[in-house]
Amino acid sequence: MADEVILLDFWPSPFGMRVRIALAEKGIKYEYKEEDLRNKSPLLLQMNPVHKKIPVLIHNGKPIAESLIAVQYIDEVWNDKSPLLPSDPYQRSQARFWADFVDKKMYEVGRNLWTKKGEEQEAAKKEFIEAIKLLEQELGDKTYFGGDKLGFVDVALIPFYTWFKGYETFGNINVEKESPKFIAWAKRCIQIESVSKSLPDQDKVYDFIVQIRKRIGIE
């Protein structure tokens, strides 16, 4: 029996993008269902009754919620090609640590760059650049966080690059000036087909941020 794979997602979500990249890396065919987060579908509420959030991966009728858990699931189930997590337990633990760091830092701090003003925004700028520099340090001289090939941390992190035009414009920062190696890594990632075809254009995400700012009354 062929696998039935469905992804409940929302196009600008960096969390959904992670799952899209992982599925593309593994060459998995799936049905993409776009969600309206202001009018969530009965399927989303049924499949993720706890958090009621996207993304939700549905594999043969069984839901897997939370993006990093879904990416690990994809890596374990379709383990015949393009491994995302290292086989060594210690290296695997470190990949999970840095993916967790991305989860705890990038979304919230990035959001503060385009939703806050004054001192709060200045604090966010400082915290954002510090986080990028720590990630740059962890990358070191490697091509990708996963070494010579795209890995778990790359998949966790690269989706946020689609939001950088918004972060930089409204946060008034220049990430390339502060962390050129980080931007060089991002540009290498988006040359990979599984990444480029899974990510929306930065300008499109920027327009989405502009719309949200208007909706929540930030001028």
Using alpha carbons only, give the angle 154, 157, 88 rounded to the nearest 5 degrees.
40
Fold of 89-216: Glutathione S-transferase Yfyf (Class Pi); Chain A, domain 2 (1.20.1050)
Nearest-angstrom CA–CA distance, 40 and 63:
16
Q: Average pLDDT, stretch 41-53? A: 97
pLDDT category, 218, cuts 50, 70, 90?
A: confident
Q: Average pLDDT, stretch 31-42? A: 96
Q: What is the DSSP letter of 148?
A: S
Alpha carbon of residue 26 to chain centroid: 17
pLDDT category, 194, cuts 50, 70, 90?
A: very high
Q: What pLDDT score does 118 carry?
A: 94
Per the structure block, which two tokens stand in for 18?
A: 């992670």
Mean pLDDT of the residues in the chain: 96
40 Cβ contact list (under 8 Å, min separation 6): 52
Q: Average pLDDT, stretch 128-154? A: 97
Q: Characterise 20 by phi-psi region: left (phi > 0), alpha (psi -120 to 50), beta (else).
A: alpha
Sign of dihedral through CA atoms 161, 91, 20, 187?
positive
CB 49 within 8 A of CB 36: no
Fold of 5-77: Glutaredoxin (3.40.30)
Task: For 202-211, write each residue's pLDDT tens digit.
Answer: 999 999 999 9
Nearest-angstrom CA–CA distance, 127 and 179:
14
Burial level of 80, CB count in 10 A (0-12/13-18/19+)? exposed
Q: What pLDDT score does 219 carry?
A: 66
Global pTM value: 0.96
Task: List the chain domain ranges.
Answer: 5-77, 89-216
Nearest-angstrom CA–CA distance, 37 and 32:
15
DSSP string, 172-219: T--HHHH-HHHHHHHHHHTTSHHHHTTS--HHHHHHHHHHHHHHTT--
Q: What pLDDT score does 154 carry?
A: 98
